[in-house]
Amino acid sequence: MENRTDKNSYTIIFAVVMVAIVGSLLAYAASALSGRIDENKRLEKQQNILYAMGINDNDETSAVFISTDKAPEAFDANIVEQLVLTVEDGEIIKQQTRQEYLDENGDEPYLIDIKKEKSNAKDGKARRMPLFIGEKDGEKIYIAPIYGKGLWDAIWGYVGLDENMVVQGAYFDHKGETPGLGANIKERYFMDDFIGEHLMDESGNFQGVTVAKGNADPTNQRKTDFKVDALAGATITGDGVTAMIKSDLRLYVPFFQNLKK
């Protein structure tokens, strides 16, 4: 019998078989690599948190994480406490230690999905917010994660603060901002501008930090004007950084107010 391979049925069967084979291979690869992927995510978050408190391998100009082989030990040595704050309607309704959160959820606070928690808040649900307390040079640094929207996709970061909500360090990253423009939020010269910036005014009101065009402070000497210079050609990405700082860090204000009581 003649074997015709130019029939539509043959093409369909071939496509179905190939999709099944490729799909199976991809599923196997994803399953086999899932452990390694999770480990990489864990290490990356530890590196981000450490960077925001000033523990990194920076050279004179570049932002460089502490290496992955050193990150777990450095994280355990420098992060002295982890808290999870549950916020509802702008108020902290619950505060848990790392162990209390582990006992309840079986996972580390730094693995909390910030994007998901922010989405929950928009739906009127309570939002869980991790806060990491580190010690450097005998001083405590409070590191908070933030999440927002840039020009094309998600942006996020970690901000290190002292007890007065003065920025001690910052790390920003993005998913798909324009190279050479919005993508520069993860360049050291931009992130370093935030160091020393005050988030609260003299009356104790939260102001945040605005990424501002025409700031007339190119070397960023003024630390109580609640502004840093914008990136050239990246207005929307800068607006996204401003928005996530103001919306997310504002929620930690009651915690810092309680520190002074």
Mean pLDDT of 48-76: 92
* pLDDT given for residue 1 in this prediction: 47
Whole-model pTM: value is: 0.84
Give the containing element (helix H, strand E) for 149.
strand 139-149
CA distances from 153 to 54, 119, 176, 177, 254 (A): 27, 15, 6, 7, 30
pLDDT of residue 19: 78
Alpha-carbon Rg of the chain, whole angstroms? 23
User: pLDDT tens for residues 203-255?
Assistant: 999 999 999 987 777 777 889 899 999 998 999 999 999 999 999 999 999 99
Mean pLDDT of the chain: 89
How do residues 146-182 score in pLDDT, each as one tens digit? 999 999 999 999 999 999 999 999 999 999 999 999 9
How large a percentage of the chain has pLDDT more than 90?
A: 72
DSSP string, 206-230: B---EEETT-S-TT---SSSSEEEP
Measured CA to CA in angstroms, residue 93 lies from 96, 102, 130, 206 at distances of: 10, 18, 14, 20
Collect all residues with Cβ–Cβ distance below 8 Å to 95 and sequence separation of at least 6: 83, 84, 85, 86, 255
- 203: tokens are 């009356």
